[in-house]
Amino acid sequence: MESLTVGTPETVDIEQLSAVAAHTFPHACPPSIAPENIASFIAANLSPARFTEYLADPQRAVLTAHHEGLIVGYAMLIRGVGDDADVARAVQFRPAAELSKIYVLPDRHGSGAATALMSRVLATAEDWGVAGVWLGVNQANQRAQRFYTKSGFTISGTRTFQVGAGRESDYVMVRACR
């Protein structure tokens, strides 16, 4: 039986978390995104320095999935909707939280790690007292869309998302909390 633990760790190996983030992000990108744009996004948003900031931010929750002591996936929840007008129109409930990131190493797909992370994300959102959770997902990422739909999210709008110098088209998906 595998040992998988999911939660908000009191301490986290920032270098390992950043490495998992850098490894998993390209797998969520459609082939049309230029490699230099992916690399630019990773450098700007998934570095150890950025994760140090994320972990210190009281408006964020960083959750990790560990198997045999190693990080195999992570998620990030952020309080609020932000200032994107398209997102504000698509997210009808307030207060809300954004599921900004949820990634699992490719060799751990199908292991239950993503489902466990999602359960913990939704429990954290409920603990925060938000009315619902929203996320953006690339319109070409069918696998992620299926997972989010299975997790109770529905498409409620669209937005653009900057990846390096490129702009991508996302669906905005929402799910009400209980």
The answer to whether 63 touches 79, Cβ cutoff 8 Å, is no
Question: Which pLDDT belongs to residue 19?
Answer: 96
Give the H or E element holding residue 35.
Answer: helix 35-45
Question: Which pLDDT belongs to residue 1?
Answer: 36
Question: Which pLDDT belongs to residue 2?
Answer: 56
| pTM for this predicted structure | 0.91
Instruction: Tell me how crowded residue 52 is: count the other CB atoms within 10 A of its CB.
Output: 14
Q: Which are the contacts of 41, defined by CB distance < 8 A and separation ≥ 6?
A: 25, 162, 163, 164
Taking only the tens place, the pLDDT of each residue in 51-110 is: 999 999 999 999 999 998 899 999 999 999 989 999 999 999 999 999 999 999 999 888
Range of the domain at 100: 4-176
What integer is the mean pLDDT of 147-165?
91
The answer to whether 42 touches 25, Cβ cutoff 8 Å, is yes
Question: Which pLDDT belongs to residue 172?
Answer: 97
Question: Which pLDDT belongs to residue 169?
Answer: 85
Question: Which pLDDT belongs to residue 164?
Answer: 74
> CATH number for the domain including 9?
3.40.630.30
How many domains are contained in the chain? 1
Question: Which pLDDT belongs to residue 153?
Answer: 98
